[in-house]
Amino acid sequence: MASKPLTRKQSAARIKDLRDEIKYHEKKYYVDNEPQISDYEFDQLVKELGRLEGRFPELVTPESPTRRVGEKPVEGFPTVRHKRPMLSMDNVYSVRELEEFEQRVRKLLPGQQIEYVAELKIDGLGISILYRGGKYVQAVTRGDGVQGDDVTANVKTIRSLPLVIPDAREVEVRGEIYLPFESFQKINREREAKEEALFANPRNAASGSIRLLDSKEVASRKLDVFLYSIHIEGAELASQWENLQTIKKLGFKINPHSRLCRTLGEVVDFWGEWTEKRDSLDYDADGVVIKVNSTGQRQALGVTSKFPRWAISFKFPARQATTRLNGIVVQVGRTGALTPVAELEPVRLSGITISRATLHNEDEIKRKDIRIGDYVLIERSGDVIPKIVSPMKERRTGREKIFVMPTKCPVCHSEAFRPEGEAIARCTNPSCPAKLRESLLHFAARRAMTIEGLGEALVDQLLEKKLVRSIPDIYALKYDDLVDLERMGPKSSENLLDEIQKSKSNDIARLIFALGIRHVGERLAQTLAAHFRGIDMLAAAGVEELTAIEDVGPVVAESIAFFFKQPENRDLLRKLKTAGLNFAAKKGEAKGDQPLAGKTFVLTGGLDRFSRDEAKDAIERRGGTVTDSVSKKTTYLVVGKEPGSKLAKAQKLGITILNEKEFSKLTE
């Protein structure tokens, strides 16, 4: 006889019990690695919960285990500014360099006892995760360290990550999302079967996975996460070791391989042990992160413009392997650069299969005397793209072939030209399809024109269907051009057109960088934007005028002037201007309108008239710089309500302190 269905009240009680039981088993399986029931039994619990929630949808809550996957595919990833920067870390590769790091620390903390925490450096994707009221709220990628992508729905699919924690305060945890080797290999096998490009390493696969638009597909990738940092109500705990223990107590997964070290010698011992044992791990670790344990000491040490002074990454030695070089292909980049790439007999290295390696340029091939058919020694140093260290000449048979660099572009077959004194030959055709593809991707990139949604897959479709034949064609795209493309649809098409329209009002620094002028990076683009009042003035500048600008040498000046002299580039600018892009410097961008140039600001406390971002923008538009820590180089400390410890430090150093009224007057 069938059992009588549960009433709503009974179902509510059963749902609560099921959620608690599933949460317990998720932690035992995914975090503690101590499964208490079989996969089948676990699945039955989830299915029962799903059935009850299906009968009583009003009882479904966002933190239910059934809600990890199931949100509608997102249309894109909004950008979110981090509450505090996610700093990158400087690297060392020898004990001597590590000792130099400690000397710098001791110089800034004279006579103090210093402890370190050594942790494995996981080669993954940096993530910041926010909880409020004990519930999972948001997840944001590291991005550029200041802002990142909101990937909340996708990170929610990670089973080891709790959706509810026993702390109702605002809790931010940070860590690394990674892909276990087994999952990485499975993904690449599936991509190979579909004739799709393989991921180069687990880190790239993790990054690509977390940015998939469909959370169900993300869940199938079996991502995982280790957490290593915590802020509660914006404050750190007394030490890094306490951070780790607290993170674990709250139910998060920390890497089990970390050590509190009383001396630098103990740090080196830990590094040496894991140099030997790293191949026993089921994920990619490329070194050891060493952090000063005391939070107070870390605050005293502060940060540079790029790195914290209290932490360093001690990389494992490069790993090498031997394999056969089967062939050399030539790729064409955004600037038309022809780059030779080695096609290798697949070989395992650093936990992944390597089948390609960079050869840099023709001179490098000749210098190392690398030949097609050689057995070669390859290396991954710091887990970057593999490179060929040297050929194994003693194994040559006489059948090896000397590589000859092509004189024509392998894509469009136009002439390739190698300027005197340069190591790289370039395609001379401005309409070369290979150059155009890379140029479009660069133009749309976040640090250039920031056209969200215009990624590789879409660019390839636009080129294939000849909807875009040059960069300005982006601004001629219509809804009907996009809506029927693969993985677009009405909402995605509307969003992309909005992004394209929005990009027209970008400041000229972004446009200068987006143009892809050789030797002009993001920082130099900002310098040029500050010097000239518009793109037209920059285009008319001669080499002599350009060379007079700080950071612009003769080679760079020649490159800039050459770019704007080319008829095809003048035509490009004319079309972009006609399309409505901003060609004039906004207030605060042009030379002579930078009253705060050379001045460094630090902000503390809450302001009434400005958000933190608005205050930062007001300073930077007037030429000033904003940093996070007070030092002797700080010009002003801007103080709002409830200032932190920065105020006391600024007073001690004699830094000029501004209240909000004084700051407002300074930025009028």
Given a contact cutoff of 8 angstroms between Cβ atoms, the answer to whether 376 and 321 are in contact is no
590 part of a folded domain:
no
Segment 369-377 shows an average pLDDT of: 94
The residue-averaged pLDDT of 469-473 equals: 92
Mean pLDDT, range 53-82, rounded to an integer: 74
**pLDDT (average), residues 522-551:** 85
Gap between the Cα atoms of 594 and 531, Å rounded: 10
Half-sphere exposure of 445 (CA within 13 A, CB side): 19
Give the highest mean pLDDT range of 61-70, 113-122, 429-438. Answer: 113-122
CA distance 255 to 88: 19
200-209, 256-265, 376-385: least confident range? 376-385
Q: Is residue 588 part of a domain?
A: no
Instruction: Calculate the CA 363 to chain-centre distance.
Output: 32
Between CA 374 and CA 233 the distance in angstroms is: 59
> Do both 63 and 47 map to the same domain?
yes
- Domain that residue 522 falls in: 508-578
Query: Is the same domain home to 108 and 27?
Result: no
Dist CA 378 CA 344 (whole Å): 10
Q: If DSSP codes are grouped into helix, strand and coil, which group holds residue 584?
A: strand
608: CATH: 3.40.50.10190
Domain end among 402, 417, 449: 402
Q: Is residue 407 part of a domain?
A: no
Single-letter residue type at 315: K
- The predicted model scores a pTM of 0.50
Q: How far apart are CA 573 and CA 443, in angstroms?
A: 13
Q: Are residues 254 and 357 in the same domain?
A: no
**Other Cβ atoms closer than 10 A to 587:** 8
Structure tokens at 357: 């390696």
Task: Summarize the confidence of residues 550-561 as an average pLDDT.
Answer: 84
Q: Does the pLDDT of residue 545 top 80, yes or no?
A: yes
Are residues 490 and 518 both part of a single domain?
no
* Poorest-pLDDT segment among 95-99, 321-325, 602-606: 602-606
Q: Which range scores top for mean pLDDT: 30-34, 40-44, 514-518?
A: 514-518
Which pLDDT score is estimated for 3? 62
From the list 325, 330, 340, the residue with the least C-alpha distance to 372 is 325
- For a pLDDT cut of 90, what percent of the chain falls above it? 40
pLDDT at res. 443: 93
Would you state the pLDDT for residue 421? 76
Q: Residue range 559-582: average pLDDT?
A: 90
Mean confidence (pLDDT) of the chain: 85
Contact 156, 68 (CB under 8 A): yes
* Residue 571 pLDDT greater than 70, yes or no: yes
Q: Which tokens hold the place of 430?
A: 């401005």
Confidence of residue 613 (pLDDT cuts 50, 70, 90): low
Query: Residue 73: what pLDDT?
Result: 44
Q: Please compute the mean of the pLDDT values over residues 151-175 and round it to a whole number.
A: 93
Q: Which amino acid is at 384?
A: V
User: Is 541 domain-assigned?
Assistant: yes
- Residue 427: pLDDT above 90? no
650-657 CB contacts, 8 Å cutoff, 24+ apart: 650/602, 655/630
Which residue, 288, 315, 342, sits at the end of a domain? Answer: 315
Give pLDDT, residue 552: 83
For residues 285-302, average pLDDT: 94
pLDDT, residue 30, reads 60
Are residues 262 and 155 part of one domain?
yes
- Place 592 in a pLDDT band, splitting at 50, 70 and 90: very low
Give the integer Cα–Cα distance in Å for 550 and 93: 33
Two tokens, residue 59: 């009882």
14, part of any domain: yes
Is 268 a residue whose pLDDT tops 80?
yes
Structure confidence at residue 74 (pLDDT):
46
The stretch 594-611 carries a mean pLDDT of 79
The confidence score (pLDDT) of residue 70 equals 46
Same domain, 187 and 331: no
User: How many angstroms separate the CA atoms of 79 and 151, rounded?
Assistant: 10
What is the domain count for the chain? Answer: 6
Flag whether 50 is in a domain.
Answer: yes
Statement: residue 325 has pLDDT above 70: yes
Place of tokens 């005293």: 300
C-alpha span between 111 and 103 (Å, rounded): 12
What's the rounded mean pLDDT across residues 198-203? 72
Catalytic residues: 121
